[in-house]
Amino acid sequence: MIGPTILIKGDLTGEEDLLIDGRVEGRVELRKHNITVGKNGRVKADLYGKVITVEGEVHGNLYGDEQLVLRQSSTVRGNILAPRVVLEDGANFKGSIDMSPKDSVQREQTPSVPLPGAPSPGGIK
């Protein structure tokens, strides 16, 4: 937990869930764990987590491997990339949302390799 009087500038990484009730500036990367920005939380960072829940304020992009939840009290300025997104009534959000399935995002980033026996581009085998 990052308490309400704590200010962290820089990158945060770790192997456990995180509750941010203070201020963070930089990058937060907990890809296999949950990140919660509490009502007092003020974050200027990109967040990478399994499930990200925002109750406070975030200025940065949000990358949720499973789900992203913006609570009624949240204010978010940034883009969202997550397969499931919940925007509660009253959430303040400005940005774009990409809900592409995780495997299609990985396919877009992986160069395609022709199957054995398949014709190659230009008809050359």
Query: Would residue 49 count as lying in a domain?
Result: yes
Per-residue pLDDT of the chain (125 residues; tens, 9 = 90+): 999 999 999 999 999 999 999 999 999 999 999 999 999 999 999 999 999 999 999 999 999 999 999 999 999 999 999 999 999 999 999 999 999 876 644 444 444 445 455 454 555 44
Length of the chain counted residue by residue: 125
Q: In angstroms, rounded to a whole number, what is the distance separating the alpha carbons of residues 118 and 125?
A: 8
Pairing of strands 35-37, 18-20: parallel
Structural domain includes residue 46 = yes
**Are 47 and 28 in contact, with CB atoms under 8 Å apart?**
yes
How are beta strands 80-81 and 62-70 bridged, if at all?
parallel
Q: Is residue 38 included in any domain, yes or no?
A: yes
Q: Are 41 and 59 in contact (CB under 8 A)?
A: no
Q: Is residue 116 part of a domain?
A: no
Are 53 and 69 in contact by the 8 Å Cβ rule? The answer is: yes
117 in any annotated domain: no
Q: DSSP state, 114?
A: P
Alpha-carbon span 122 to 54, nearest angstrom = 50
Q: Which structural domain range is residue 38 located in?
A: 7-96
Give the pLDDT confidence score for residue 109 in this predicted structure.
Answer: 45
Q: How far apart are CA 64 and CA 72, in angstroms?
A: 19
Q: Is residue 122 part of a domain?
A: no
pLDDT for the residue numbered 122: 53
Number of domains in the chain: 1
Answer yes or no: is 120 within a domain. no
Residue 50 lies in a domain: yes
pLDDT of amino acid 118: 47
